[in-house]
A and B are shown apart, each in its own frame.
Chain A
Amino acid sequence: MELSPSELRWRCAADQLDFETTNDLEELQQILGQARALDAVQFGISIRRHGYNMFVLGPPGLGKRTTVNYFLSDKAATEATPDDWCYVNNFEQAYKPRALRLPPGRGAQLQRDMTQLVDQLKTTIPSTLELEEHQSRIQEVEQEAKERHNRAFKELADRALERGIQLVRTPGGYAMAPVRNGEVIGPEDYEKLARGEQQQIEEAVKELQEELKEIIERIPRWRMETRDKIKELNRQATQHAIAHLLSQLRADYATLPHVLDYFNALEKDVIEHAEDFLPQEETSPNILGIPMPGQPNFHRYRVNLLVDNSKSQGAPVVSENHPSFQNLMGRAEHEARMGTLVTQFTLIKPGALHRANGGYLVLDALKVLQQPFAWDALKRALNAKQLCIESLGESLSLVNTVTLEPEPIPLDVKVILVGDRMLYYMLYQYDRDFADLFKVAADFDEQMDRSPENCALYARYIATMARQEHYRPFDRQAVARVIEQSARLAGNAEKLSVSMQSIANLLREADYWASTDNAPTVTARHVEHAVAQQIYRADRVRTLVYEQIRRGTVMIDTQGARTGQVNGLSVIDMGNFSFGQPSRITATVRIGKGEVIDIEREVDLGGAIHSKGVLILSSYLATRFAQNRPLSLSASLVFEQSYGRVDGDSASVAELCALLSALADVPIRQTLAVTGSVNQHGQVQPIGGVNDKIEGFFDICQACGLTGDQGVLIPRTNVKHLMLRQDVVDAVAAGRFHVYAIETVDDAIALLTGREAGAPDTAGHYPPETVNCRVAARINELFEIRQQLSQQGMDKAKS
């Protein structure tokens, strides 16, 4: 049935829009056409339970992020500002820094307080330890120690002298030797002594040497005792000196027990390392100005303010555009020191999860999955509800250096992943943690119903955009054209696209073209020009393809009739632009065993769906024409001059028609092209890209010259999708082009061959000279030939 021009394109009646320009309209305060997704987003944001993270799914350009941010900003502003987080030194295990949680703003305060405290300690401790009273006590201890040493040696020396032995200092220590008149006896004089006297001397020396050894062995212990006494004196003095400094801090942070614990540990450490605060010798070892290890390290009293919410209002909403492992989880950086990589707690850097803790983190799902280890780390953190900073290099043995194990930080964050549907379903299918962690799916629709109410909302959306983006006002004809383009983008005359990115681009460009006209308002002409320009900018490939057809390089007939040859239609999708391309499909038939050979499949250029369509043809032929006998033919189908992959079943009607034409030996009109898929019963089913396909064949026919016979056959079920270009509609209205809606293969055959297809009578016989009658006859003929050949073969075998 031929379609009328009114069925080829839905027109948005501008006179139905009750405004002159978009200036007359109120702004739209809602997101267009996403009721289900919006409910899901609101639910997902509001529910604060473990695992209720959200995946916002849908194709790009639907405004998913904008929508999420819109709701998040409102919600987050009403929520409590989360606490600050700091890392401080763990004085007992420096490689395990402690995490401190403080109310918002107190982290920065603690950081300042600690810097100030260290500055004060640098003056207070030296002045305390250098106090005359303290120095006197130190000297007393030192003097006492010195006296103890000297006394021990002097007593030994005196005892030795009483026995005629002198304690003599040597380069390496001490020795005992006999003396006469204050001089050690020489070996010659010693030899002259009586043996008894020698023995007496040697025994005395031996005994005294033992005593000397005992004294020397006691020296380390004495030194340790002295050192301990001095340390204790320093400890007492330092404790007294810093007590008043810390007492003020303790009062300031009295409500934060973990901070008070830290102060206690700090106090202990400061006392232990009081000497670090004393002025250092000028000759402190350094190389090129870099202090050598062992120098005082006041960094350990610093506060690493990891998360500072002092200037935040409400819960944070963080969006991480580069969600690498480290950008998500934080990291402990290293610095090179004397050729070695070292780290400390002040080099811990926060990740997006730290910044978003207590709020919301919005991530692009694909980017997270593309980053090595980021997805696993994110899941681990969400599952454990805590943030552990891990060294990736260390765990992979990429670097072998000192690393940290910072205390984990409790994590309370809602993660919102934004991605396309395939990603969501793949994760759901293959990642067993995904369903537990992302319980809320907000599925964004690509289109909405084209109701008068929705058209009115669409107009308000255009008005809102024009106002917010400072476009010229759109008059109602322009708005109507935009709405029509929206239906075209939806690929459905009964729907409107909610791909806001595409619409926003159209509005922006229409405004631009209006500006080049110095027009005060955007009119329908500007919108149409913007659409035309969008196509023009994108259709380089289409132009090339059509040129090849026009020049006959790619052979497409648009006139005459051919047996076993039909014009099929396919769509080439360039991403931002798609267009229809006619293809010549041919079929040949010969005797065989009932197989229909899909040449595309044979050479691995046919996809599975295409193969399925071809197999359906075999089934259709066998069911309709060879129910009680074997189908004794072999047919071949091919997309001529096709050198790429072919998929989809939208050419199956065309393929069947070509096959039937070849079987019936009835030519097909090349003025027509056909699209549609077919089932085993010969019913024609809908296909995609119907508008592009019709326009594609129209363009070719127009280029070769419209004769008035040309047209396209489309499935009846696709009629509602028609939103054809105006020039096509005009051509149809003028009778120079035709669009036919078909429901069965017989409809297609009748239109393509100009002959009746023929319906079987109760006995299964077709009317004479109908196409189906000729097909049945040919199939029967092939069967009989095969029977004869089979019989001859058997006879030959018997003889």
Chain B
Amino acid sequence: MKHTPPLPAVRCILVALDDACSDHETMETAARLAADLQAELQGLYVEDVNALRLAALPFTQEITTASGVARRIDPESMERAMQNKAAHVRQLLERSAARAHIRCSFSVTRGHVTQRALLATGETDLVLFGSRSHAPATRLPAAAPARSAVRPVVAVLDAAAPRIQTLDTAVAISQRQQRGLVVLVRGAPPGAVELCADRVRDRLADRDVNARVSRIPIDTLADLIRAAHTHGAALLLLSRTCRLLDQTAVHTLLENLDCPIVLG
């Protein structure tokens, strides 16, 4: 008989926010994830140092997305704009948290968003990066309510050091969001992969989740991106110990995927 296991011990979820990823959809995704896992939400808005630096250059201009107009920027106005943005993002996050009936906190720092978020992984259980799509975040009015439930949660496990916590978190998200689950087991040697996949299957056997375990070779980031595209990931869940990951890798994944990424 299948059953719903107890929730994994996720007490805090950090959502990494910056100018590229601070829209309503990201807030809602984070709030829902926190609500599903009964965790507290922690917003971290990172003021991009590159943006601050370029404002000091004498020739740079900002092209606004709202109007397409180019305007001269300076460090003061950039800082002011970032402060305003941070305040706005905080409001969005608190509103989403209130709707989801979860607790939330918010802090602002300066640097690179991936770097700052990865630094915080030790102090939090999960780190969420929202989609960094360039497409406007506003919803198309004529669209029916999106039923992205058809898109699965994709979890990637290293066969060499599979984190059961990551798998359990993926299962919990899939169950609560009524999504399918795809578990990609990667690594070497093939025997270890096979063994890991079997263990995963065994663990999922009595879970009430529509799961599929796949052994595919994922040796590079490009392989990972391709696999995520192939499965149409609604959410990509990676172990923080995944050997593919570093600051540049997360940035690359975010630039090439249009789904949120969770490091657990």
Q: Count of chain A residues with Cβ under 8 Å from any Cβ of B?
A: 57
Q: Is B6 an interface residue (CB 8 A)?
A: no
| Most chain B CB inside 10 Å of its own CB: which residue of A143, A175, A227, A234 | A175
Q: Decide if B62 touches A174 in the complex (CB within 8 Å).
A: yes
**Contact residues in A for B62 (Cβ distance below 8 Å):** 170, 172-175
Q: 8 Å CB contacts to B: which residues of A526-542?
A: none
Which of the candidate stretches B143-151, B159-167, B173-181 sits at the interface with the other chain?
Answer: B143-151
Q: Decide if B140 touches A142 in the complex (CB within 8 Å).
A: yes
Name the CB-closest residue of B to A235. Answer: B142
B179 to chain A, nearest CB (A): 13
Q: Is B3 an interface residue (CB 8 A)?
A: no
Q: Decide if B141 touches A275 in the complex (CB within 8 Å).
A: yes
Option from B54, B57, B64, B150 in Cβ contact (under 8 Å) with A173: B64
Q: Decide if A173 touches B63 in the complex (CB within 8 Å).
A: yes
**Contact residues in A for B143 (Cβ distance below 8 Å):** 138, 142, 230, 234, 275
Option from B50, B57, B59 in Cβ contact (under 8 Å) with A183: B50
Q: 8 Å CB contacts to B: which residues of A180-195?
A: 183-187, 190
A213 to chain B, nearest CB (A): 5
Q: Decide if B142 touches A227 in the complex (CB within 8 Å).
A: yes
CA distance A145 to B85 in the complex (A): 26
Q: Decide if A150 touches B70 in the complex (CB within 8 Å).
A: no
A766 to chain B, nearest CB (A): 114
A310 to chain B, nearest CB (A): 39
Q: Decide if A184 touches B53 in the complex (CB within 8 Å).
A: yes
CA distance A146 to B136 in the complex (A): 8
Q: Is B82 an interface residue (CB 8 A)?
A: yes
Given A168-B51, A171-B82, A231-B142: A177 and B63 interface contact (C-beta under 8 Å): no
Q: Mark B120-152, 1 if CB is under 8 A from A, else 0.
A: 000000000000011110001111111110100
Q: Decide if A146 touches B144 in the complex (CB within 8 Å).
A: no
Name the CB-closest residue of A to B255. Answer: A154
Q: Decide if A223 touches B144 in the complex (CB within 8 Å).
A: no
Q: Decide if B148 touches A139 in the complex (CB within 8 Å).
A: yes
| Most chain A CB inside 10 Å of its own CB: which residue of B55, B63, B81, B146 | B63
A123 to chain B, nearest CB (A): 14
Name the CB-closest residue of A to B78. Answer: A170
**Contact residues in A for B58 (Cβ distance below 8 Å):** 187
CA distance A646 to B67 in the complex (A): 92
CA distance A209 to B50 in the complex (A): 17
Q: Mark B36-63, 1 if CB is under 8 A from A, else 0.
A: 0000000000001111011111111111
Q: Decide if B258 touches A170 in the complex (CB within 8 Å).
A: no
**Contact residues in A for B85 (Cβ distance below 8 Å):** 171
| Most chain A CB inside 10 Å of its own CB: which residue of B58, B146, B147, B258 | B147
Q: Mark A200-222, 1 if CB is under 8 A from B, else 0.
A: 01100110010011001101000
Q: Which residues of A contact B (CB under 8 A)?
A: 126, 129-130, 132, 134-136, 138-139, 142-143, 145-147, 149-150, 152-154, 166, 168-179, 183-187, 190, 201-202, 205-206, 209, 212-213, 216-217, 219, 223, 226-227, 230-231, 234, 275, 278-279
Identify 4 new A-B residue pairs, CB closer than 8 A, beyond the known A226-B140, A234-B143: A139-B148, A183-B50, A202-B59, A230-B142
28 A-B pairs within 8 Å (CB atoms) are namely A130-B145, A130-B147, A135-B150, A146-B258, A149-B136, A150-B258, A152-B134, A168-B54, A169-B20, A170-B19, A170-B51, A170-B81, A171-B78, A172-B66, A173-B65, A177-B57, A177-B60, A184-B50, A184-B57, A209-B63, A213-B70, A219-B136, A223-B140, A227-B141, A231-B142, A234-B143, A275-B142, A278-B145
